[in-house]
Amino acid sequence: MLTSILIHSINMTAAEKLPLWLPAADALALLKVRPQTLYANVSRGRIRTRADTADPRRSLYHRDDVQRLAARRQGRRSDAVLAGEAIQWGEPVLASGISTVVAGRLYYRGQDACALAEEGTLEQVSALLWDGPAHPFASPGGTGAPASSTAPLAAAMTALAARAAADPPARGRGRPALLQEAAGLMGLLADALAGPSRGERVHERLAAAWRRPKAADLIRRALVLLADHELNASTFAARVTASTGASLAASVLSGLAALNGPLHGGAARATLGLIRAAEREGVDAAMHEWLSLGRRLPAFGHPLYPQGDVRCQALLAHVDLPAPYAELREAGERLMGEKANVDFALAALTTAHRLPAHAPLVLFALARAVGWIAHALEQQATGTLIRPRARYTGPAPSGLVTAARDAGA
């Protein structure tokens, strides 16, 4: 026991001496792999990278990520530790055929999402992700809730809660009926977030509701790019709910509740706050103040895109960046060593076209609901309940303590 503690202490001391960012030679030496394997781990988001400031042509690799993978290869990680890591950007925890990120590209059922965004609509992407025929997004009988100009997410949650309480469970029902119900739910959400439909597609409805017809094409692109993104927090919440056999409305409501958090769908809102601070104080002063308060700078970096978020790049290619954003992007990427992400692009789109401040969250909610439904349908088809175990860290159970004390007496 003492020997293992000493070895662990020596290993920890050695680790602390390593710099946070390692050159390729050091990373390869720790991992004991070929360069191709190192690059594959980077493309899968397992190892973070940044450009070497001394030579931008070279990449540096995050020490902690490299050491974690090295330890795993050497078999020193317990099943409990691996399970714990899996829910924080770790190894995949369940099978899905809906979307994936490979080599820094996002794919929907094998099709490049950025390519789909060139001409596709959210309605077309829903047919792809749901693996079924296209249905118009229309509330049955036009019963959708009226849109709220001040609290659209609250209106959407209220409408979904009513449906979740009334709709029958999804378990045991036929797929055609569920697909029809899914399209109706999207119509309900669109009514709550964009107002009653006159037959337009979702991006056209949003552009009309916000009185920004020239932004319609960018809104369309954003909706397609946001439709799904592997097993993120809101999607996992939706799948867990679906695994119980609950209605599709209940699954979408679970996803929407998770999306509303500041670390998920609210990240673009934080970016807008940073921009306002930059306009008042200057970009460098605003970033310094933000970091001095212990907050991570929003809108930069994404573990699945070490070379840059392709969704951000696809959107910004069609946005004329307002002056504060161009300056913030350059300064933030230099300071953080990471590229701007999709939250930055959504905030820039909102400012460039003078959309409502809640526009990024509305875009996220409407688009990602398509993905939540796809995952709910996929999970329902498995017929299994998602039921992970917790690693208990509380006080020892009193009965066991008493028994152990009596046994030692």
| Cα dihedral 354, 316, 124, 145 sign | negative
β-sheet bridge partners, residue 89: none
Catalytic site includes residue 264: no
Which among 191, 343, 358, 375 is annotated as catalytic? Answer: 343
- Cβ–Cβ contacts within 10 Å for residue 294, how many? 6
Q: d(Cα 321, Cα 332) in Å, to the nearest integer? A: 15
Q: Which of 203, 229, 264, 302 is catalytic?
A: 302
* Beta-sheet strand order (sheet of 55-62): 21-23, 55-62, 49-52
Are 193 and 152 contacting, i.e. CB atoms less than 8 angstroms apart? yes
**Can you list the alpha helix ranges (DSSP code H) found in 87-174?**
113-116, 122-130, 152-166
Residue-by-residue DSSP string for 281-349: H-HHHHHHHHHHTTPPPTTB--TT-TT--HHHHHHHTT----HHHHHHHHHHHHHHSS-B-HHHHHHHH
Annotation says 302 is catalytic: yes
Residue 89, Cβ neighbours under 10 Å: how many? 13
Burial call 14-53: b when 16+ CB within 10 Å, e when fewer: eeeeeeebbebebbbebbebeeeebeebbbbbbbbbbbee
Catalytic residues: 302, 343
